[in-house]
Structure 1
Amino acid sequence: MMRHFSRWILLIIACIFTVICLYPVLLMLISSLKSNAEIFARPLGLPTSPTLKSYRQLLQQLPYFGYIKNSIIVSAAAVFLTLLFGAMASFYLARFDFPWNPALFFFFLMGMMIPIKLGIIPLFLFMRSLRVLDTLWSLILIYTAIGIPMAVLILSRFFRTMPKELEEAARIDGCSNVKIFLHILLPLMRPALGTVMIIHFITVWNDFFFPLVFIHNEAKKTIPVGMLTLFSEYSTDWSVLFAGLTLSSLPMLVLFFVASKQFMEGITAGAVK
């Protein structure tokens, strides 16, 4: 009886937490269907006459699909490079024993301990010397460097839980380290890879600071910086702003639903070891 009661308590708490998390998203969607005057008159109420006028104004005022394309290119490239280099570094740290491995692992962890924004001036000069300033490559390189420490931290732990008998059997069959990494271990790492992919994609997609510093060309801006033009000194069209925020959240929702199974397996894997 007590176990049944505790289940109901946990279910109620989960429902309350879900409502709290989904309410801002629902409010954003509802506000995008209102006029600007109605948002101020009834900020929490349902729209009296839902309209898509704010979405049409958004596409007329801004090159919004260009911002979407830039954000997708930067996010996809940064996530891919982070997974690639992070997985290779994690494989090395977890499977090859060298005296400098602990120091190398700590070096990667320092990338999470030290805020990268503290070095924004040297980074700016470095990007200018590479001649990638005001290009999407500057963002891709920065976000890859930001994501690798987190990827190494997560993936190296997963690599250590893999039985070494798999690799030994593969080596007996003539597989090289590259084939073992690509064809045996990586397919088994999908939960961890999915976890890193979702966390880093959301970080890159929502970042405002680095595109503001490194990108000045209007055609190269990402969504967070591009949406800044909707704010004026004296007034802001909130309905158009909410419409842009609603559209910009769709790729993250799609990614989460596609990779949610791997994500949940990844964050709960340590509980069953």
Structure 2
Amino acid sequence: MKTSVAGRAVSYVAAYMFALVSLYPIVLMILSSFKTNREIFASPLSLPQSFGFATYRKLWEAVPFADFLLNSVLVSGMSVLMITVFSAMAAFYLSRFSYRWTGALYFFFIIGLMIPIKLGIVPLFLLMKNFGLLNSLWSLILIYTASGIPISVFILTGFFRTLPVELEEAARIDGCSHFQVFWRVLLPLIRPALATVVIINFIHAWNDFFFPLIFIQEDALKTIPVGMMVLFGEYETDWSLLFAGLTLSALPMIVVFLLASRQFMEGLTAGAVK
């Protein structure tokens, strides 16, 4: 009994230490956003001399941060919405309908996990140019949707296959169509998987720097990762503004994770215990 209590105490201490180490960079970033450049270099680990929002007001005046934020929200939100809808329907079809081509179709999605989408940057650039989508947010939305569907289909298909077929049979006896079975019966049961898909793809779309750099040239259409590059000067960088921008850009990800964290943890641990 004592050994069990001691082991549990060690586990809690290790967990708290890991949490402190993980949260320390975030806390340091937030505290640095309230400092001046001189304070950051003179005492980087200390508390700011005063807490005020002057740095944040200066940030909104120095760069069109509101445009960057709106663009990131639109791109990430639309991408996640399209990924979730299309992936859920594809996973439902792959897990519940067995035809000769079902296996090949599922393998087609799996191939998308094996091939990095950045390898096709030249064909993608030409494709977007031919469709007139260069310097458009739709180019980012379509690319993120295409790159996020394979992993999402893989996750959701596994969850759909764990659901008992008797649920669908009972729903069909009550007169439900295929879509009603999918929408009203099965979809609410895979909320942990949907939360996992939402968080994974939102973080990827929100933090991506590569594709906005390639496809977006107009400042008013840039997302936060690319727009923040304006704050890096050739000879001098205002680190207080940079930390303020990073703090604001991290808030939506924190909010999304807090809203879906419970479902996300259930999705990660689903199937661990029989």
Normalised by the shorter chain, which TM-score bucket? over 0.9
Other structure's SS at 2:236 match: coil
Which residue of structure 1 lines up, in the alignment, with residue 48 of structure 2? 47
- Within a 5 Å distance, the mapping from 1:4-23 to structure 2 comes to 4-23=5-24
Which residue of structure 1 lines up, in the alignment, with residue 201 of structure 2? 200
Which residue of structure 2 lines up, in the alignment, with residue 264 of structure 1? 265
Distance 2:160 2:51 in 1: 51
Q: Give the deviation of 1:102 after TM superposition.
A: 2.5
Which residue of structure 2 lines up, in the alignment, with residue 3 of structure 1? 4
Which residue of structure 2 lines up, in the alignment, with residue 130 of structure 1? 131
- Structure 2 unaligned spans of 5+: none
Letter in 2 for 1:74: V
Which residue of structure 1 lines up, in the alignment, with residue 141 of structure 2? 140
Distance 1:72 1:7 in 2: 42
- Within a 5 Å distance, the mapping from 1:109-258 to structure 2 comes to 109-258=110-259
* Root mean square deviation of aligned Cα: 1.0
- Cα deviations by residue, 1:109-154 (Å, 9 ceiling, x for unpaired): 2212111111101000101111111111000000001110110111
Distance 1:238 1:109 in 2: 42
Q: Give the deviation of 1:58 after TM superposition.
A: 0.4
TM-score (norm 1): 0.97
Other structure's SS at 2:100 match: coil
Distance 1:232 1:110 in 2: 42
- Between the two proteins, the alignment pairs up a number of residues equal to 273
Q: Give the deviation of 1:103 after TM superposition.
A: 2.3
Contact 1:90 1:156 in 2 (8 A): yes
Distance 1:12 1:152 in 2: 38
Which residue of structure 2 lines up, in the alignment, with residue 64 of structure 1? 65
Q: Give the deviation of 1:3 after TM superposition.
A: 1.5
Distance 1:127 1:172 in 2: 47
Contact 1:34 1:51 in 2 (8 A): no
- Within a 5 Å distance, the mapping from 1:18-33 to structure 2 comes to 18-33=19-34
Q: Give the deviation of 1:51 after TM superposition.
A: 3.5
- Cα deviations by residue, 1:30-60 (Å, 9 ceiling, x for unpaired): 1101100111111122212334222111010
Identity %: 59
